[in-house]
Structure 1
Amino acid sequence: MNLSIVIPLLNEQESLPELHSWIYKVMIEHNYSYEVIFIDDGSTDASWQTIEELSKKDANVKGIKFLRNYGKSQALHAGFAKAQGDVIITMDADLQDSPDEIPGLFKMITEQKFDLVSGWKKKRYDSVVSKNLPSKLFNWAARKTSGVHLNDFNCGLKAYKNIVIKNIEVSGEMHRYIPVLAKNAGFGKIGEKVVIHQARKYGESKFGMSRFINGFLDLITIWFLSRYGKRPMHLFGAFGVLMFLLGLVSTGFIIFFKLFKLYNGYETILVTNNPLFYIALTAMIIGTQLFLAGFLGEIILRTKNNEERYKVATEVNL
């Protein structure tokens, strides 16, 4: 099979028939062997019924329905697990990603041998204040932090080699950072392609300030995981030892002056009246806690089991 097109969605019943027709037209024109995997992430409208109807008309249409809304990362994880194509394309279901871009992305994977190609919506039709400017700030921070030089991490239109999606773990809200996850897994040839961004035709945007804030928090998480995810003791342990030694030296300083009475009247001052005593005590407590955090992190890494991240209600053609 040449292509797997993985499409996570939430309440997009109006756009699905048009999106499927558009994808079908592109697939026929280029004679691709393909499958389209729709993942219904807990829609409350008739999206799943629409997917079922499309699957009856086109055997290449497959569907996964979650019991409730688990998030885009979980939806992509479920789609990646089922994808069988040599090249996997991800796109949003709101018609803002153009299926006409698929052949170009496909060629970059198969002919130019990229591991992953990310779309870049250079010209956008979103609100400048609510999405455009925050997106640019977010992308700048992601480039600086991750070392992956992409202009648009948030673009849902991406292409992957099959081996890439089978060797990365997309969890939490990490779908924005799949290129970073791929780089950390050892897939270094990551490209970018300018793609058409279209104005939303149906429904409402799912973007809000909470997603913007969560994006930056996830960026910190992935930075930490990429450097210390397999060895948390190297970070927490190092800071813990440093803080403990700082407290220990301060305590030694207090004891030294108290015992040897280097200053007149110092011997009459209670140790607990010295502000340095509390600084030393706090540093030692924090140091011990940081060290224990690193130690517990190491234990958790070695004993954790894979947990169930979502529940599937039903599937179509899978």
Structure 2
Amino acid sequence: MNLSIVIPLLNEEESLPELHAWIVRVMNSNNFSYEILFIDDGSTDNSWKVISDISKNDNNVKGIRFQKNYGKSQALNIGFKKALGDVIITMDADLQDSPDEIPELYELIVNKNYDLVSGWKKKRFDSVVSKNLPSKLFNWAACKTSGLKLHDFNCGLKAYKNEVVKNIDVYGEMHRYIPVLAKNEGYNKITEKVVKHQARKYGTSKFGISRFINGFLDLITIWFLSKFGKRPMHLFGALGVLMFFIGFCATLFIGIYKLYKLSTGEPAILVTSNPWFYIALTTMILGTQLFLAGFLGEIILKSNKKEKRYKVSETLMIKK
């Protein structure tokens, strides 16, 4: 099968028939063998009924319905698990992503051998305040922390090799940073393609202030996991050493200061009356806690036998 088209959606009953007809037209004109996976993320309108009706008349259409709204990342996660195509295309269901872009995205994966091709909505029709500015901030921060030179990390229109989607775990709100997840798994042939962005035709945007906040929190999480996910002691241990060093210096200062007072014949004040005593005590406690956090992290990684510590790309065995 050439293509799997994974489409997460929430309350998009009006756009689904038009989107399906548009995709079918593009698939047939390019002679693709394909499947369309609609992932209904707990819609409260008639989206699931529309998907069911479409699937009765088109064997290429499959549907998965969540019991409630779990989020776009979870919808993509199950779509990736079920996808059978050599190339997986993701797109939104609101008709703002154009299916006409699919053939060129497919060619970049198959002929240019890219692992992932991310769409870049260079010209947008969204609200400047509610989506454009937050997107620019996300993309700038993601570029700086990941090293990937992409203009639009969060574009829903992307193309992947099958093996890429099978080896990444999309959870929380991590769908914004799928290129970063792919890079962290060793898939470095990542590029972007300028794609058309269309004004929303039906329904309303699902963007809210909570997504803005969660996006930055997830960016911090993915940065931490990419840097120290396999070696937590490198972070917590280093911070622990720093805290101990500060505590040692504070203790040394207290001792020297006390000896100086004794040598001059002045009455020495109580150690607990010296503010450096509390600095030394606090930093020593923090250093101990940070070391313990690092040790616990290493123990958890060691005991998690399901965790894949490496992936083998190719193997050449000596034949006897």
**TM-score, normalisation: structure 1:** 0.93
- 5+ residue gaps, structure 2: 308-320
2:317 is matched with: none
2:16 is matched with: 16
Q: Could you list the per-position Cα deviations for residues 253-277 of structure 1 after superposition, in whole angstroms to 9, with x for gaps in the alignment?
A: 2134324635646543111111111
2:59 is matched with: 59
CA contact (8 A) 1:11 1:45 kept: yes
1:276 is matched with: 276
Q: 1:299: Cα distance to partner? A: 2.1
Q: 1:302: Cα distance to partner? A: 2.9
Q: Distance in 1 between matches of 2:56 and 2:121?
A: 33
SS at match of 2:220: helix
CA contact (8 A) 1:244 1:284 kept: yes
Q: Distance in 2 between matches of 1:19 and 1:125?
A: 19
Q: 1:91: Cα distance to partner? A: 0.3
Q: Which amino acid aligns with 2:270?
A: L
CA contact (8 A) 2:262 2:268 kept: no
1:81 is matched with: 81
Q: Distance in 2 between matches of 1:27 and 1:60?
A: 11
SS at match of 1:45: coil
Q: Which amino acid aligns with 2:289?
A: Q
Q: CA, structure 1 residues 46+149, in 2 after alignment: closer, same or farther (shift >3 Å)?
A: same
CA contact (8 A) 1:73 1:170 kept: yes
Residue 177 (structure 1) aligned with residue 213 (structure 2): no
Q: Could you list the per-position Cα deviations for residues 265-294 of structure 1 after superposition, in whole angstroms to 9, with x for gaps in the alignment?
A: 654311111111111111111111111111
2:295 is matched with: 295
Q: CA, structure 1 residues 265+12, in 2 after alignment: closer, same or farther (shift >3 Å)?
A: farther
Q: CA, structure 1 residues 223+283, in 2 after alignment: closer, same or farther (shift >3 Å)?
A: same
CA contact (8 A) 1:258 1:267 kept: no
Q: Distance in 2 between matches of 1:174 and 1:263?
A: 63
Q: 1:306: Cα distance to partner? A: 7.1
SS at match of 1:268: coil
Q: Distance in 2 between matches of 1:305 and 1:41?
A: 31
User: Percent identical across equivalent pairs?
Assistant: 75
Q: CA, structure 1 residues 64+166, in 2 after alignment: closer, same or farther (shift >3 Å)?
A: same
SS at match of 2:94: coil
- 5+ residue gaps, structure 1: 308-318
Q: Which amino acid aligns with 1:37?
A: L
Q: Could you list the per-position Cα deviations for residues 160-186 of structure 1 after superposition, in whole angstroms to 9, with x for gaps in the alignment?
A: 000111111111111111111111111
Q: 1:156: Cα distance to partner? A: 0.4
CA contact (8 A) 1:257 1:263 kept: no
CA contact (8 A) 2:261 2:268 kept: no
1:194 is matched with: 194
2:110 is matched with: 110
Matched positions, count: 307
Q: Could you list the per-position Cα deviations for residues 163-218 of structure 1 after superposition, in whole angstroms to 9, with x for gaps in the alignment?
A: 11111111111111111111111111111110000111111101122212211111
Q: 1:305: Cα distance to partner? A: 7.7
Q: Which amino acid aligns with 2:76?
A: L
Q: CA, structure 1 residues 265+31, in 2 after alignment: closer, same or farther (shift >3 Å)?
A: farther
Q: 1:219: Cα distance to partner? A: 1.1
RMSD of aligned residue pairs (Cα, Å): 1.6
Higher relative contact order (CA 8 A, sep 6+): 1
2:120 is matched with: 120
1:313 is matched with: none
Q: Distance in 2 between matches of 1:171 and 1:306?
A: 17
Residue 4 (structure 1) aligned with residue 4 (structure 2): yes
Residue 240 (structure 1) aligned with residue 236 (structure 2): no
CA contact (8 A) 2:232 2:297 kept: yes
CA contact (8 A) 1:258 1:266 kept: no
1:310 is matched with: none
Q: Which amino acid aligns with 1:86?
A: D
SS at match of 1:117: strand
Q: Distance in 1 between matches of 2:273 and 2:263?
A: 16
> Could you tell which deviates more after superposition, 72-81 or 263-272?
263-272
Q: CA, structure 1 residues 265+70, in 2 after alignment: closer, same or farther (shift >3 Å)?
A: farther
Q: CA, structure 1 residues 305+96, in 2 after alignment: closer, same or farther (shift >3 Å)?
A: farther
Q: Distance in 1 between matches of 2:105 and 2:267?
A: 77
Q: Distance in 1 between matches of 2:31 and 2:187?
A: 29
> Could you tell which deviates more after superposition, 33-42 or 208-217?
208-217
